[in-house]
Amino acid sequence: MSRDNLAFVRSHMLPEAPPPVAETGAVKWLRENLFSSVGNTLLTLVSAYVVVRILFGVAPWFFNGIWDSPSLSACREMLDGRTGACFAVLTERWNQLLFGFKYPPDLYWRPTLAFVLLFVAAAPVLFMKYLPRQMLIFTGLYPFIAFWLIWGGSIMVPIFALLGVLLGAFVYWRTLTISAGVAVLAGIVAALVFWWASRLVTAPLGDVLALQPVVSRDLGGFMVNMLLGVVCVSLSLPFGIMLALGRQSRMPIIKWICVVFIEFIRGVPLITLLFVANVVLAYFLPPGTTFDLILRVIIMITMFSSAYIAEVIRGGLAALPRGQYEAADSLGLDYAQSMQLIILPQALKISIPGIVNVAVGLFKDTTLVSIISMFDIVGMIRGPILASTEWNGVYWELFGFACLLFFIVCYGISQYSQWLERELRTDHR
């Protein structure tokens, strides 16, 4: 046999070769996402052209911006005909945009501290798997601490408010064996009686660790939007769960009360409810009764968002197969146990995107309070700032700053919801 007919057998392995340039790194990403076909290539080129034109048009407005100027006229003189923003209004009025124009400047540290402590209080709830459960104690105390920091006054007021909540919870658990409805009613009555009686005790102790009091009408700026957003979202979630369960109840009275409430609230614009909170609600109170406007607004916004969250959660409950309810019955669980351990965890997991959508919309809708003369960040821009002779005519800079603040908060909520969905995923895809 000649040498030419012998097969070649390699005696050693070839060294690893790098992957093709088109199959790795940025080139692969561009090819798969932007230039995967003729149509995508054309769309990419057109989009790139539009983005470049926008950047070239907006860039001079940013880079030529003036950050130090006493007024709009002085800012225009500094620009001398060039295109540029007058960001000096932000450096001059940042405190009013964030805290309002009546909140004492030497007390800015109090709402700032309350804002920082909000993340500490929310962390064990949002990241329960990664933080010790003992931190939930601070989460329960935070609402009373934040109230004391923002509104001031004696520390005995939040302390007795906390004691009333604890007493109501204790009465609820002690009477739960009788009936769930009786337990809830007994807990509420016990807390209300304790709070009414505590007024006789807090008056003589009014100077105990007292901070300078600040009335609600002095709150303003983005602080009002954050306050309404955090409080109303926190309250509307449990109320929405109760409304969703009540609408599916087999007891006709409870079911129809929940149905009428949900359908009525969802059929009425939020701005109408805010006008009711501002004007009409006072006619139903006894003469001489003072009902804080912020509290009235919190009640109305919470009612509004609770109705929407109830429908979102009802959709999650309807998405569960009937076998889940039958499995709970086969384990011998009563209604409360089956809802707590089997049904609600799955329904809430399904409802996360809808709940987050309602929460984001609710936070943005807090700007509607400017219609009823509450000086949130939009009310501050449309009122005292634009009404001043120094800054009359500045629009893009102020509303752009407000958009940036709302975007940061809403984007953070959206990213957390996506992270939570990935954490709760059980299909391992």
Whether 276 and 409 share a structural domain: yes
Do the domain assignments include residue 99?
A: yes
Cβ atoms within 10 Å, residue 423 = 10
Whether 239 and 192 share a structural domain: no
Q: Is the pLDDT of residue 336 over 80?
A: no
Give the Cα separation of 42 and 47 in Å (integer).
Answer: 9
The 8-class DSSP code of residue 205 comes to T
Interval 286-310: pLDDT, tens: 666 667 788 888 988 999 999 999 9
Q: What is the pLDDT of residue 251?
A: 83
State both tokens at 121.
């209080």
Whether 99 and 243 share a structural domain: yes
Total structural domains within the chain: 3
Q: Is the pLDDT of residue 202 over 70?
A: no
More confident residue, 311 or 206: 311
Question: What's the domain range around 372?
Answer: 88-103+218-424
Interval 148-174: pLDDT, tens: 999 988 888 888 888 888 888 888 888
Whether 342 and 390 share a structural domain: yes
CA–CA distances in Å: residue 129 to residues 98, 118, 123: 34, 19, 10
Q: What is the mean pLDDT of residues 3-8?
A: 61
Residue 223: pLDDT band with limits 50, 70, 90: very high
Q: What is the pLDDT of residue 102?
A: 87
% of the chain with per-residue pLDDT over 90: 29
Q: What is the pLDDT of residue 246?
A: 86
The string of DSSP letters for 215-261 reads -GGG--BHHHHHHHHHHHHHHHHHHHHHHHHHHT-SSHHHHHHHHHH
Give the Cα separation of 279 and 273 in Å (integer).
Answer: 10
Q: Is the pLDDT of residue 201 over 80?
A: no
Q: What is the pLDDT of residue 309?
A: 93
Do the domain assignments include residue 323?
A: yes
Residue 3: pLDDT band with limits 50, 70, 90: low
Give the mean pLDDT of the chain.
Answer: 85
Whether 172 and 242 share a structural domain: no
Interval 70-103: pLDDT, tens: 888 888 888 887 888 899 999 999 999 999 888 9
Do the domain assignments include residue 269?
A: yes
What global pTM score does this model have? 0.84
- Determine contact, residues 165/191, Cβ cutoff 8 Å: yes
Beta bridge partners of 211: 153
Interval 39-74: pLDDT, tens: 889 999 999 999 999 998 888 888 888 888 888 888
The residue among 145, 178, 210 that closes a domain is 210
Do the domain assignments include residue 119?
A: no
Q: What is the mean pLDDT of residues 365-386?
A: 88
Whether 96 and 201 share a structural domain: no
Do the domain assignments include residue 57?
A: yes
Whether 373 and 224 share a structural domain: yes
Whether 293 and 377 share a structural domain: yes
Do the domain assignments include residue 79?
A: no
Do the domain assignments include residue 418?
A: yes
Whether 234 and 184 share a structural domain: no
Q: Is the pLDDT of residue 318 over 90?
A: no
Whether 206 and 225 share a structural domain: no
User: What are the two backbone dihedrals, phi and then psi, of residue 285, each rounded to the nearest 5 degrees?
Assistant: -100, 155
Q: Is 227 exposed, middle or buried (0-12, 13-18, 19+ CB in 10 A)?
A: buried
Whether 281 and 408 share a structural domain: yes
Q: What is the pLDDT of residue 108?
A: 93
Do the domain assignments include residue 347?
A: yes
Give the Cα separation of 374 and 224 in Å (integer).
Answer: 9
Q: What is the pLDDT of residue 296?
A: 85
Interval 236-292: pLDDT, tens: 998 999 899 888 888 888 889 989 999 999 988 988 888 888 777 767 666 666 677
Whether 233 and 205 share a structural domain: no
**CATH classification at residue 310:** 1.10.3720.10
Cβ atoms within 10 Å, residue 321 = 9
Q: Determine which of 122-126, 303-307, 369-373 has the lowest per-residue pLDDT on average.
A: 369-373
Q: What is the pLDDT of residue 227?
A: 93
